[in-house]
Amino acid sequence: MDKVVERFLKYVQINTQSVQEVETCPSTENQLALGETLVKELREIGLADVSMDAKGYVMATLPSNLDREVKTIGFIAHMDTSPDASGENVCPTLVENYGGGDILLNREKNIILSPKDFPDLLDYAGETLIVTDGTTLLGADDKAGIAEIITAMEYLAAHPEIEHGEIKVAFTPDEEIGRGADFFDVAKFNADFAYTVDGGPLGELEYENFNAASAKLTIRGRNVHPGTAKNIMINSILIAMEFNSLLPLAEKPEYTEHYEGFIHLTDIRGDVEETELHYIIRDHSKELFAQKKQVIQEAVNFLNIKYGPDTVELQLTDSYYNMKEKIEPVIEIVELAKKAMEEAEVTPKIAPIRGGTDGARLSFMGLPCPNLFTGGHNFHGRFEYIPIDSMKKAV
């Protein structure tokens, strides 16, 4: 079995789901356990300056084998998996020589991975796929990225005839909950530029991402016995529904694609007395991003006029910004990645990220950082899969 596959199958056995509600870094102890495993491997393959700090950030260096100075490049992946689906007891299965039809993931629960639902599967007919058992995510996001980076470093360390400058690697915690760059020491990493290996299908190369914000709304009502409620009760649930109805109908994830942004209701809970809503706001355009936040603010203002001051409380927080403005001045690093893909017989597919990466924030911290493919599909869910040939190409 290929080393990149062996590594990946080993890493996914460690449940490294991050947890939004926890304020520590990392948010889960198992991320440290994976970090310790990676530190051991990095030392075994001959990298220098291998370290993991108290917050779980792993860094290492492959020294230059040149007698001249060149720029230092970095590769970064994240150790946590998404809270959106279970990462406990991941049972990966290899589907060899995929025939192009349905894949039965779980006979007992009749869970099927079908090209009718996921037509990209047909692109990999004849290849070997790694799939789930239908009850957990797979963890290709981003344990495939980790496996690919370490396997590439192992190959370079074992083949000194391949000339290269100094190469830095880093593995971060808590990317999936938006905190992967919070304690990243850019000065210690000391690279001129880097790439996150956190993308999707074969050939993905990304240097644009969403501008992102989150909105938390607390709506306060007044509860009394419904039998005597006339002109007294204020039902916060109904006001929450009214608020959501004031937002643009078409600007939802299920109606948008490409460069189209959205306002997404992720969570609602409450009762007559108090209801809480959580939204995420996304747009590639700074101007449209600002407009979406203004729409939310104006809806809050309207309801506070209608129902009384402080009926609706808004907490609006920016999360990260589009790295395009930081990458374009050094666009040669994108061209370098394109050239490397073409030399590996991979067709580059440049498209905007409909999400974010650690690289977005790192680019604003002085480390320009486009995103490269891992080869994975259907991240954050039980239908996640990855073709082995795509992993080899990433290496």
Question: Using one digit for the tens of pLDDT, what is the confidence trace for 259-306?
Answer: 999 999 999 999 999 999 999 999 999 999 999 999 999 999 999 999
How far apart CA 210 and CA 216 sit, in angstroms, is 19
Is residue 129 a contact partner of residue 99, using CB atoms and an 8 Å limit?
Answer: no
Q: Which residues contact 101 (CB under 8 A, 6 or more apart)?
A: 115
Helix axes 30-44, 140-158, angle to 10 degrees: 20
Q: What is the pLDDT of residue 369?
A: 97
How far apart CA 280 and CA 212 sit, in angstroms, is 7
Q: What is the pLDDT of residue 114?
A: 97
Give the DSSP H or E segment for 238: helix 236-245
Q: What is the pLDDT of residue 180?
A: 94
pLDDT tens-digit map of 26-80: 999 999 999 999 999 999 999 999 999 999 999 999 999 999 999 999 999 999 9
Q: What is the location of CATH 3.40.630.10 in the chain?
A: 3-208+322-394
Residues noted as catalytic: 80, 175
Q: What is the pLDDT of residue 234?
A: 95
Write down the CATH number for the domain with range 211-320.
3.30.70.360
pLDDT band at residue 355 under the 50/70/90 scheme: confident
pLDDT band at residue 339 under the 50/70/90 scheme: very high
pLDDT tens-digit map of 133-153: 999 999 999 999 999 999 999
pLDDT tens-digit map of 163-192: 999 999 999 999 999 899 999 999 999 999
How far apart CA 315 and CA 145 sit, in angstroms, is 34
Q: What is the pLDDT of residue 20?
A: 87
Arithmetic mean of pLDDT, 225-238: 96
219 forms bridges with which residues in the sheet?
A: 275, 312
**pLDDT at residue 1 is higher than 70:** no
Q: How many percent of the chain have pLDDT more than 70?
A: 100
Q: What is the pLDDT of residue 384?
A: 98
Give the DSSP H or E segment for 264: strand 262-270
Strands (E), 221-337: 262-270, 274-283, 312-320
Give the DSSP H or E segment for 341: helix 332-343
Q: What is the location of CATH 3.30.70.360 in the chain?
A: 211-320
77 forms bridges with which residues in the sheet?
A: 171
CATH 3.40.718.10 fits 3-208+322-394, yes or no: no
How far apart CA 204 and CA 353 sit, in angstroms, is 10
Q: What is the pLDDT of residue 357?
A: 84
Q: How many percent of the chain have pLDDT more than 90?
A: 96
